[in-house]
Amino acid sequence: MKPKNQRLVLVLAAVVALVAAALLAMWGLRSQANYFYTPADIAAGKAHDGEAMRLGGMVERGSIRHLPDGVTIRFLLTDGKADTPVVFRGIAPDLFREGSGAVAEGRLQNGTFVADTILAKHDERYMPPDLGNLSAEHKAGKTLQK
Amino acid sequence: MIAEAGLSALWLAAGLALLQLVLMVVALRSGADVRRAMRSIAVVQGVLTLIAFAMLLIVFARSDMSVALVFENSASNKPFIYKVAGAWGNHEGSMLMWVTILAVAGAFVAMLAHRTSERTLVAALGAQAVLALGFYAFLLIASNPFARLWPAPPDGQGLNPLLQDPGLAFHPPTLYLGYVGLSVAFSFAVGALLTGEVDSRLARAMRPWVLGAWILLTLGITAGSYWAYYELGWGGYWFWDPVENASLMPWLAATALLHSTNVLAARGALKAWTMMLAVIAFSMSMVGTFLVRSGILTSVHAFAIDPQRGTFLLALLAIYVGAAFALFAWRGSSLKEGAPFELVSRESGLVVNNLILTVILGVVFVGTLYPLFVEAVSGEKLSVGAPYFNAVAGPLALLLAVLVGVGPLLAWRRQRRPVLHRLQVPALLGATALAITFILWRDMHILPRLGFTVGAYLAAASILPLVGRNPLRAPVATWGMVVAHFGISVALVGMAANAAFSSERLAIAKPGDVLSVGPWLVQLTDVVPTAGKNWTAVEAELRAAKGAQLVTLTPQSRYYPDPPTQTNESSIRTFWNGQLYTVIGNQDASGAWQLRLWWKPFVTLIWAGGALIAIGGALALIGRLWRLAWRRRPSGDAEWRKERYA
């Protein structure tokens, strides 16, 4: 190959790689991105059954129930406007408590959120940014913007 | 006094960096010989930052609570090692470590680089000074690590218990060394673009830095993965957490850069391409630092929740990357392309390697930043997790692993004879592995199935470059390549085995109960309270039996009072054929304990593979440095003949 052609081929290859990466990423994101919902969104019917998603809110006080198998819990996540029942099988994270913030990852099934993973506030000083807003709004009783 | 001494050293170092920059501009304009002055300045600057960092270590070691940073991140009852490691387990300290490593690397460049031309070296040191200046400004203006508190509080607030782990002492410094090694490659690239001297000499000067950075990133990622595996107690080794991606992206770029630097060094080809990759690799390090340090992420690693810092880092990122790309656009087109090569050649193989790595990098980059982008634009919150990355990056990585077996068999410039017949044995092995998975495990998922196939094929294909010659006379760098490529196959098999054969058991148990997981029977014999220096815990005593084998495991659920935090300490036993992984959870109302048990066959191969990849890199580095030190060869493009077997 002549050097000039060689450079042209290399530039073309780089452009093709970039376009391929962009297309692949778009395709992947369209099918795999998880949206973040609040219980109010669920109540408003914005989420569909079976869609992978995250649900964030505060764990309603007095709502945690342990099922007889000992490793499944049910509780309510709330954002002050609506509640969503959540069921989770597994060891809840260290800082999962009533009255504190949590994010559940999973899917909706007939109005109940089946969580695969639960993320809780990580330590006393740390607050995930999205939950930081949430708890402030929760306390102030303001309407949540999606 | 100690804190003030550290701060003064930092100011002086910043002043020297400014002087270094001025000297570079003067030298490039007038052609004055400033090399010796530049060298001394770079070395003194490195020493000053080392002094500043040593002062920070001392205030942490002495638990000097009058320093705000110590108060916020330490406590006098902590074990000594975590007091010292706590110095860089926080935002300010880690940024000081960043700039220290950067300045020390600059000093080494100044002392060691004999092979680049003087103009390029001066320009590269100037570029390094610009990088350092930004970080000095960041430290001195927005994150002073030596700020005092008055009056001094009696005791500190403690360090996040998850970070009180040997992993902390090792993990961030390794990654930072890797990031900063890439900054040297970046500075060389910027310097060479300024002077127009992009040639194989430059590539040889860059290569040890790129290799070193790449080795450390590989080690950092491997160690970080194992840390997450045993410390977080979820049994996973990679979560596609944005912070993990922040270390993966520079690694992907560095891997591509490493391979294209070899082309530039051996053949003088792919000039613009390699410069571009050097810029991208360091940009990814900056993106990584920005993601971790700006507090923009919802992640266990996000410490700083201070918008000013995030903005400052973002501005630095934009300036450096923007300027480097502008420079590239301005000078890149004037670079003469080097020696030509045919479509089927080692060079083409490495171009394909680079393209695939770049596509994977793009996919990870988009997946990591897309949620931030969407939230900034529309306010909508979403997350991109493992399903996306596995579905998109997984097949690309497997494709790359297949080609890894082919590339090293190709000759530089032009492959005359067909090579595919040399891959008969590896292909046969791969087919056998595939057949076995179909016969024995019909319902195995597609990715692990392909993982076994490609792993078996690559294990054989990777050693082909040593076949048909006397392996003892092969260059050390070739051995390095073979070991690193073999490591990929080992890690692949480990991932496939973990995905396909792990068994998990989640149940409640009272003392005396027996649970089964995989081939093991595990009995909970007792649960007892226990305590460490700064924590209390309940500890389960588990007896695990398989045939005549009997082992005891003691997972703990720990409580740290400052800051109040609970953690699950997993207990793991390693056998030749896998790991038994146990976690104790909470106690329920009836007095029974939650237990989570995993049997993970051959999971250790994942990290063994990572270690092999790093060892391969180390061998290559040793081989290259050996040659540089012992064979002072004349430079010139004819050299590729000697290197064609390297």
| Tens digit of each residue's pLDDT (9 = 90 or more) over B48-64 | 999 999 999 998 888 88
Instruction: Please give the residue range of the domain that contains residue A68.
Output: 35-140
State pLDDT tens for residues B68-118: 888 887 877 777 888 888 888 777 888 899 899 999 999 998 888 667 788
Would the CB atoms of A34 and B383 count as touching at under 8 Å?
A: yes
Average pLDDT score over residue span B422-432: 90
Judge if A123 and A92 occupy the same domain: yes
Partners of B564 on chain A (C-beta within 8 Å) are 123-124
Mutation for testing the B interface, residue in A79, A121, A125 having most B CBs under 10 Å: A125
Dihedral angle over CA of B97, B99, B104, B110, nearest 10 = 170
pLDDT at res. B631: 58
A77-97 pLDDT, tens digit per residue, is: 988 888 999 999 888 776 687
How many folded domains does chain A comprise?
2
Query: ipTM more than 0.85?
Result: no
pLDDT greater at residue B579 or residue B589: B579
Task: Please tell me whether residues A24 and A85 are part of one structural domain.
Answer: no
Extended beta strands in B150-291, E state: none
pLDDT digits (tens, 9 = 90+) for B119-143: 888 889 999 999 999 999 988 988 8
Model confidence at B599: pLDDT above 60: yes
Interface of B with A in 579-618 (CB under 8 A): 583, 585-586, 588-590, 592, 594, 596
Mean pLDDT of B276-285: 93
% of chain B exceeding 90 in pLDDT: 40
- The percentage of chain A sitting over the pLDDT mark of 90, rounded to a whole number, equals 8
Q: How confident is the model at residue A4 (pLDDT cuts 50, 70, 90)?
A: low
Same domain? A44 vs A116 = yes
Asked whether residue A106 falls in the same domain as residue A82, the answer is yes
Q: B504: which strand partners?
A: B598
- Does pLDDT of B570 surpass 70? yes
Instruction: For residue A145, tell me if it sits in a domain.
Output: no
Same domain (yes/no): A8, A73:
no
Residue A93 forms part of a structural domain: yes
Contact assignment for B351 to A10 by CB distance below 8 Å = yes
- Identify the CA nearest to B74 among candidates B155, B147, B144, B167: B155
**Does a structural domain hold residue A146?**
no
| Location of structure tokens 């591509």 | B256
DSSP secondary structure code for residue B234 in this structure: S
Q: Distance, in angstroms, between B476 CA and closest chain A CA?
A: 31
- Write out chain B residues lying below 8 Å of A4, CB-based: 337
CB-based contact B366 A21, cutoff 8 Å: yes
List CB contacts (< 8 A) between B387 and chain A: 32, 52
Phi, psi of A139, rounded to the nearest 5 degrees:
-65, -40
Residue A6 within a domain:
yes
Residues A55 and A11 in one domain: no
* A50 plus A67 within the same structural domain: yes
B388: nearest CA partner in chain A = A32
Cα separation, B204 vs B201, in Å, equals 5
Q: What is the mean pLDDT of residues B544-567?
A: 85
A24 occurs within a structural domain: yes
pLDDT at B627: 77
- Residues 341-360 on B with a CB inside 8 Å of A are 341-343, 351, 355-356, 358-360
Best of B249, B334, B388 to disrupt the A interface (most A CBs within 10 Å) is: B388
Do both A20 and A61 map to the same domain? Answer: no
A22 plus A55 within the same structural domain: no
Same domain, A40 and A71: yes
**Which residues in chain B are closer than 8 Å to A79, comparing Cβ atoms?**
none
Angle, vertex CA B111, rays to CA B626 and CA B633, nearest 5: 40
The angle at the Cα of A93, spanning A91 to A99, to the nearest 5 degrees, equals: 115
pLDDT of residue B645: 42
Average pLDDT value over all residues in chain B: 85
**Using a CB-CB distance cutoff of 8 angstroms, which residues of chain B are in contact with residue A94?**
565-568
Q: Of A19, A38, A79, A126, which to mutate for an interface test with B (greatest number of B Cβ within 10 Å)?
A: A126
- Residues in B closer than 8 angstroms to A136, CB to CB, are none
Q: Domain locations in chain B?
A: 1-164, 503-601
Q: pLDDT at position B302, please?
A: 41
| pLDDT tens digits along A98-131 | 888 888 888 888 889 999 888 776 433 334 444 4
Domain identity same for A87 and A25:
no
Q: Do A90 and B392 touch (CB under 8 A)?
A: no
- Bridge partners (DSSP) of residue B558 are B537, B567
Q: Is residue A105 part of a domain?
A: yes
On whether residue A40 sits in a domain, the answer given is yes
Q: Which residue is associated with the tokens 């090792």?
A: B170
Residues B5-34: what's their mean pLDDT?
Answer: 88
B407 residue type, one letter: G
